[in-house]
Amino acid sequence: MTVRSDQNQDEIEKNERTSYFRLPALDVSIAFPQATPASVFPPSTSDYYVFDDLLTHEEKSLRIKVRECVEKEVAPIMAKYWEKAEFPFHIIPKLAALRVAGGTIKGYGCPGLSLTGSAIATAEIARVDASCSTFILVHSSLAMLTIALCGSEAQKERYLPSLAQLKTVACWALTEPGYGSDASSVATTATKVEGGWILEGQKRWIGNSTFADVLVIFARNTTTNQINGFIVKKNAPGLTATKIENKIGLRIVQNGDILLKKVFVPDEDKLPGVNSFQDTSKVLAVSRVMVAWQPIGISMGVYDMCHRYLKERKQFGAPLAAFQINQEKLARMLGNVQAMVLMGWRLCKLYENGKMTAGQASLAKGWITLKARETVALGRELLGGNGILSDFLVAKAFCDLEPIYTYEGTYEINMLVAGREVSGFASFKPSASSQRSRL
């Protein structure tokens, strides 16, 4: 018989008392058998007003193709990667096979989709995982589109084909630690030297930047004082990108702080079409249409999840779906989705007909994110305790919506852009502090 010393005895008892804390968590489908977790994604049920009727045959086929791929490849792994805040690199070839990177860009190996088709694809990816849709959006609707709209012929031929196949990945860097909403004031400098430019400064929040092969970076020309754009390659001497930790939303997206210390960019990598901040605004107006479709997709997914969950889980001897208050919430969510979809669709049509204004894009991005915020909050309530678990999608979507509310122009800035267009008055600058109100 082994004799235990007092100290050992204490340790053993402590270990015995606490050992069950160290067991791995039960699989959620065992721990909670009354509802299916989102790793098995629910069927699509949010198309109540048959939006599909407004799509072309190609757009419908693309919708189904993207939906099937993300439900199969992304849904089973998203909660795990979201919790770890890591990017699932192994899904890049699956996303590449969808042929959505490059969106509306024609030629250079890009898919040349209609804007509506590209928007639907964005929504279908966001329906399952908003981080994945942000990864594509930054790469495609910001970086690739900037090269397509503002690049030279040689730059388009050199960079776009491999970006379209996701053999290389891009990021787009405008925001700085000191300038977010006030992006036109960027302080990163570009100084002309023999054969190229020297970039110096900092960028913040840049999605995909920790692993991007191609970085589209905006900087202020020290001679003209205007904003110019540059293509910077990974591993350029003086360039570092460090991951921003502790995000509560879009945790799969690798957002970085970029430091540029005397980074040399050859003349051939300066974008000839970016000569002022207005040129970046042209890109932002189009990408804002895509961003507006992300909260639509997120809301569709949350609605689908709630629709299934309320039928599966029972309380007081009846499915949760049988209770009046739950039905009101579900119907309100469904109404929001119909309104968001129709606004987003009309925005695409205005763009495709060459009629869309910056204010219209901003109003859609702002208003849709506002409605989506309400929709995911209702979904979170409907799932009770499971509404705070990433395994059931809704908590994750709830958190993912917050950065979308803020990026590509915050809700407030987008509403002010629309407000300026309809009123004729810009109200971005505060009134002078010396002008005291007499009221």
Which of 250, 394 has the CB closer to ligand FAD?
Answer: 250
Asked if 79 contacts 25 with a C-beta cutoff of 8 angstroms, the reply is no
Out of 200, 312, 381, 412, the only residue in the binding site for ligand FAD (CB under 6 A) is: 412
Segment 214 to 273, residues that bind ligand FAD, using CB under 6 A: 250, 255
As measured in angstroms, the least distance from the Cβ of 404 to ligand FAD is: 8
Q: Is 29 a binder of ligand FAD (CB under 6 A)?
A: no
Which of 131, 375 has the CB closer to ligand FAD?
Answer: 131
Asked if 203 contacts 176 with a C-beta cutoff of 8 angstroms, the reply is yes
As measured in angstroms, the least distance from the Cβ of 406 to ligand FAD is: 5
Which of 175, 188 has the CB closer to ligand FAD?
Answer: 175
Residues 6+ apart with CB under 8 A from 359: 417, 418, 420, 421, 422
Please give the radius of gyration of the chain, using alpha carbons only, rounded to the nearest integer. 24
Which of 183, 321 has the CB closer to ligand FAD?
Answer: 183
Which of 81, 303 has the CB closer to ligand FAD?
Answer: 81
Which of 189, 338 has the CB closer to ligand FAD?
Answer: 189
As measured in angstroms, the least distance from the Cβ of 298 to ligand FAD is: 14
- Closest by CA to 219, choosing from 175, 157, 268, 273, is 175
Q: Is 292 a binder of ligand FAD (CB under 6 A)?
A: no
List C-alpha distances in Å: 165 to 151, 303, 426.
19, 32, 41
Outline where 277-409 has alpha helix (H). Answer: 277-312, 324-352, 358-382, 394-406
Measured from each CB, the residue nearest to ligand FAD is: 180
As measured in angstroms, the least distance from the Cβ of 182 to ligand FAD is: 6
Asked if 238 contacts 263 with a C-beta cutoff of 8 angstroms, the reply is yes
Asked if 142 contacts 169 with a C-beta cutoff of 8 angstroms, the reply is no
As measured in angstroms, the least distance from the Cβ of 417 to ligand FAD is: 11
Q: Is 206 a binder of ligand FAD (CB under 6 A)?
A: yes
Compose the 138-167 pattern: x for residues touching ligand FAD by CB under 6 A, - for all others: x-----------------------------
- Closest by CA to 345, choosing from 128, 113, 114, is 114
Compose the 111-140 pattern: x for residues touching ligand FAD by CB under 6 A, - for all others: ---------------------------x--
Q: Is 403 a binder of ligand FAD (CB under 6 A)?
A: yes
Which of 129, 408 has the CB closer to ligand FAD?
Answer: 408
Asked if 368 contacts 343 with a C-beta cutoff of 8 angstroms, the reply is yes
Query: Could you give the count of Cα atoms lying within 13 Å of 359 in the half-sphere of its Cβ?
Result: 11
Out of 168, 240, 281, 410, the only residue in the binding site for ligand FAD (CB under 6 A) is: 410
Residues 6+ apart with CB under 8 A from 161: 108, 109
CA angle 81, 292, 400 (to 5 degrees): 25
Which of 138, 368 has the CB closer to ligand FAD?
Answer: 138
Out of 205, 230, 303, 309, the only residue in the binding site for ligand FAD (CB under 6 A) is: 205
- Closest by CA to 368, choosing from 307, 295, 311, 301, is 295
Contact set with ligand FAD (CB under 6 A): 138, 172-175, 180-181, 205-207, 250, 255, 403, 406-408, 410, 412-413, 416, 428
